[in-house]
Amino acid sequence: MTQSLQRAIAKLEELPADTQDALAARILADLEDEQAWEVRFEGTSAEQWERLADLARREIAAGETIPLQDALPGRATED
């Protein structure tokens, strides 16, 4: 276990039991979601990725997209 995770768990242990349970449920749900996405990505062929990239290029060229900073106001983006 990493030191960062150990510190997080130590902080969680200080919380009331119901808060710990709520946070544990969120963490477990996030882990399940991550595993599901991994399976989806692993099952995507090179041809499918290329079709998605082509679609994105066409949407950008047609002006059908917006800058990321406009889609996520308040978040800093790297140039």
pLDDT for residue 39 is more than 70: yes
Binned at pLDDT 50, 70 and 90, residue 68 comes out as confident
Count of the separate structural domains present in the chain? 1
- State residue 75's pLDDT score: 65
Query: pLDDT digit string (tens) for 7-24?
Result: 999 999 999 999 999 999
Task: Name the residue with tokens 């978040």.
Answer: 75
pLDDT at position 33 over 70: yes
Share of the chain above pLDDT 70, in %: 94
| CA atoms within a 13 Å half-sphere pointing along the CA-CB vector of 45 | 3
Position 27 in a domain: yes
Within a domain: 72:
no
CA distances from 65 to 10, 48, 57, 58 (A): 43, 21, 10, 10
Region class of 17: left (phi > 0), else alpha (psi between -120 and 50), else beta: alpha
Q: Identify whether 46 is part of a domain.
A: yes
pTM of the model: 0.58
Task: Examine the pLDDT at 78 and tell me if it is beyond 90.
Answer: no
Distance CA 62, CA 9 (A): 48
The verdict on residue 69 lying in a domain is no
In a domain, 76, yes or no: no
Distance CA 75, CA 79 (A): 13
Q: What range does the domain containing 32 cover?
A: 3-64
